[in-house]
Amino acid sequence: MHAMTYVGRDILKHYALAALATSLMLSACATTEGYRQQTEQYIGQTSDMLVIELGPPLRRHALSDDSEVWVYQFEEYRYIPGHHYTVPVERRVTYRDSDGYRRERKEVIEDVVYEPPRDYWAPCETRFVISPDGYVRDFRFEGEACRAPERR
């Protein structure tokens, strides 16, 4: 029963993080620079602070200098509605003029293309380097969902 409760909490935490990330994106102009600024605030903090604020890491990896890399991941639901757009299409037309000479002209037409709606989960993975004495030393992140409002 404890395993079910723990797994249930992890799932709820995952959705809570995704909801938080989504609300942050919708509340202001979210950028990767904003996410970098937000994440940079953990530099110099204890690893306990990461656990308190973000929960336990998904994975941990030992480094050769006794530091560890703690990996956090979340996904953000994205929906792009369907839309039409035009694409210029160029073609060359060969014809004979009234004197019988062969001529060529360029025509440009606008072709209408429909892009159907799509939805997907955008990932964000953040890796923190934890020093042997338990402090956040560095971080890296990657993924489309790694966005937050920029500080002014």
At 84, the amino acid letter reads H
pLDDT at position 71: 98
Smallest CA-to-CA distance from 45 within 134, 125, 139, 132 is with: 134
Per-residue pLDDT band for 118 (boundaries 50, 70, 90) equals very high
pLDDT at 3 over 70: no
Q: What is d(CA 92, CA 107) in angstroms, rounded to the nearest whole number?
A: 6
Q: What is the pLDDT of residue 152?
A: 80
**Per-residue pLDDT at 29:** 86
Sheet holding 118-130, edge to edge: 59-62, 68-80, 118-130, 136-142
Q: Where are the domains of the chain?
A: 2-81+118-149, 83-115
* More confident of the two residues 125 and 24: 125
